Amino acid sequence: MSRRPLLAANWKMFKTVSESKDYIDIFCELIKDVTDRDILIAPSFVCLPEMVSMLQGTNVQVGAQNMYFEEKGAFTGEVSGPMLLDIGVKTVILGHSERRHIFKEDDELINKKIVAALGYGITPIFCIGETLQERENGQTGDVLKRQLHVGLQGVAAVENVIVAYEPVWAIGTGKTATLEQIEDAHVLVRKEIAQLAGEDIAQSVRILYGGSVKPANVKDIMTLEDVDGALVGGASLEPESFSKIVRFEQN
Q: What is the pLDDT of residues 155-196, one digit of tens each?
A: 999 999 999 999 998 877 777 789 999 999 999 999 999 999
Which CATH architecture is the domain 6-246 placed in? Answer: Alpha-Beta Barrel (3.20)
Q: 133-141: long-range contacts (C-beta < 8 A, 24 or more apart)?
A: 135/167, 135/169, 140/185, 141/188
Euclidean distance between CA atoms 86 and 58, whole angstroms: 19
Contact 35, 58 (CB under 8 A): no
The catalytically annotated residue of 96, 130, 134, 183 is 96
Reduce the DSSP state of residue 130 to 3 states and report it.
Answer: coil
Cβ neighbours of residue 143 closer than 8 Å, sequence gap 6 or more = 128, 129, 130, 134
Catalytic residue among 166, 183, 186, 192: 166
Active site residue 71: no
Task: Indicate the pTM of the whole model.
Answer: 0.97
96 has catalytic annotation: yes
At 152 the pLDDT is: 98
From the CA atom positions of the chain, what is the Rg in Å? 17
Q: Does the pLDDT of residue 150 top 80, yes or no? A: yes
Residue 232 near residue 191 (C-beta atoms within 8 A)? no
